[in-house]
Amino acid sequence: MTVEVKLFQSLEDVGREAGDQLARANQPSIYDRLNWFEMTAQHCGRAGRPLIAHAGDGENVAWLFLCRQDGKAAEALASWYTLEFNLVGSRDSSELIETMANSLHDLRHIQIARVANPEPIVAGFRAAGWKAFTAPCTVNWYIDPPASFEQFWKERPGKLRSTAKRKGKKAGLDIAIHRAFDEQAWADYRAVYEQSWKPEEGSWPFLRAFAESEGAAGTLRLGIAYREGAPIAAQLWHVENGRATIHKLAYAESAKQLSPGTILSEAMFRHVIEQDRPRRIDYGTGDESYKADWMEHVRPLYAIDLYNPRRIGAWPALARKYLSGLVRHRPTD
């Protein structure tokens, strides 16, 4: 079949073309939905113009959501909140990807990050004459939990269980887990974050829009731990289609000695495993050591750099890539 490609420079035009194809009902992953890209473009400082490639052959379709950074370079239309990025739709069709790559011939460089399986993109762009380089950029910890929380908890390290039990008795925390957006709970979440070790939040408007949207859909899990009425720990989870993701967590630095994060985590895992019964729970991105206590597996996520050698502007960066590769692989005595 003939592959047809269209390029769009506005998300409004994408919406008209896609209909409900990119809506929640047809896209299991939150990161593949038009609403996610719209919130990212609106709230996360994407200064460039959207550049979205759409390829279809009558049976299969694929979308690649990019943001043009200057006249000849683009990157994924994503942000620090996008925990995994990929093509949307038929991700493994080499013909669709190759044709899509050919349609982007005016670009010199495309950068995509946090891709779990880079091979289809790399193969498709290379078939179109692009040069592709991949490198691990972060990791994703996850677990496929048992149906029973008690079994899950039994399999956790003894030190973690001991800490939760010992500190739990001492701290005397009250824990509330919200499955819909709540104004007071959101204010408490922000209060915890502002007292935490975390840096300034990247975009509170994005995070609120996300929480409101998922709260309306019933997929939000917002946990707040209180001590004597004051919020001291908070976690924001998203649970949908058999997958639970821990997006954000924080605790008040002044309450660190009480281990409120550990106590709240135990409550959140119990609630989600018993109430939602997910097939998988993941800890977002990052290789922080504490994640190994709660998870069992880790997988790499990759950054992909794509260079178009037909554009002179790509040559200096390509030369640096090849030279750095020669240095890394230089034989030693």
Query: Tell me: the pLDDT tens digits for 34-58?
Result: 999 999 999 997 667 999 999 999 8
- Condensed to tens digits (0 to 9), the pLDDT of residues 124-155 reads 999 999 999 999 999 999 999 999 999 999 99
Separation between Cα atoms, residue 107 and residue 115, nearest integer Å: 21
Low pLDDT (below 50) residues in the chain: 327, 329-333
Q: Do domains 4-139+303-328 and 145-278 have the same CATH topology?
A: yes
Per-residue pLDDT, 70: 81
- 4-139+303-328: CATH topology is Aminopeptidase (3.40.630)
Q: State residue 200's pLDDT score.
A: 84
pLDDT at 231: 98
Which run of H or of E encompasses 232?
A: strand 230-240
The full length of the chain comes to 333
Q: Does domain 145-278 have CATH number 3.30.1540.20?
A: no
Q: How far apart, in whole angstroms, are the C-alpha atoms of residue 139 and residue 267?
A: 25
Token readout for 103 is 């349609």
| Other CB atoms within 10 Å distance of the CB of residue 69 | 18
Retrieve residue 317's tokens. Answer: 């960066």
Contacts of 221 (CB under 8 A, 6+ apart): 177, 178, 179, 235, 236, 237, 238, 239, 244, 268, 271, 272, 276
Please state the pTM of the whole predicted model. Answer: 0.94
Q: Where are the domains of the chain?
A: 4-139+303-328, 145-278
pLDDT of residue 198: 86
pLDDT value, residue 326? 56
Q: What is the pLDDT of residue 47?
A: 64
Helical H runs in the chain? 11-18, 34-43, 94-103, 119-127, 149-154, 158-171, 183-194, 204-217, 260-271, 291-294, 315-328
User: What is the model's pLDDT at position 332?
Assistant: 38
